[in-house]
Amino acid sequence: MKRIDAYSEALGRSIRGAMAATGVTQAIMADRIGISLVSLSRRINGAIPFTWPELVRIAGVLSVSVASLVEDAINRIPPDEAVAA
């Protein structure tokens, strides 16, 4: 799988963590935001970046703000990768 960048991977980890915390599976999330399970998996794994509308729908499903997902993602980026990304 092609790696996009540290930020895309961190955002995927942030979303995965929020999904786990709320009990939302990838299958449920994919269905609720209107994309295939494969597409969601690729985005969560950092192979394809999320679009803004996808992030807004994901935040809605999880009852969190997009800003909180992004802030969590930024906090997950190791300092040495943040400079390189």
Q: Among residues of the chain, what percentage have pLDDT more than 90?
A: 79
For 54, the domain range is 6-79
In angstroms, the CA 66 to CA 60 distance is: 9
Residue 59 lies in a domain: yes
Q: What are phi and psi of 80, to 5 degrees?
A: -70, -25
Tally of domains within the chain: 1
Residue 43 lies in a domain: yes
Q: Among residues of the chain, what percentage have pLDDT more than 70?
A: 88
| pLDDT of the residue at 4 | 67
Q: Which two tokens stand for residue 46?
A: 């950092």
Summarize pLDDT for 45-59 with one digit per residue, the tens.
Answer: 999 999 999 999 999
* CATH number where 50 lies: 1.10.260.40
Residue 84 lies in a domain: no
pLDDT at residue 3 is higher than 80: no
Residue 1 lies in a domain: no
Summarize pLDDT for 31-48 with one digit per residue, the tens.
Answer: 999 999 999 999 999 999
What's the predicted TM-score (pTM) here? 0.86
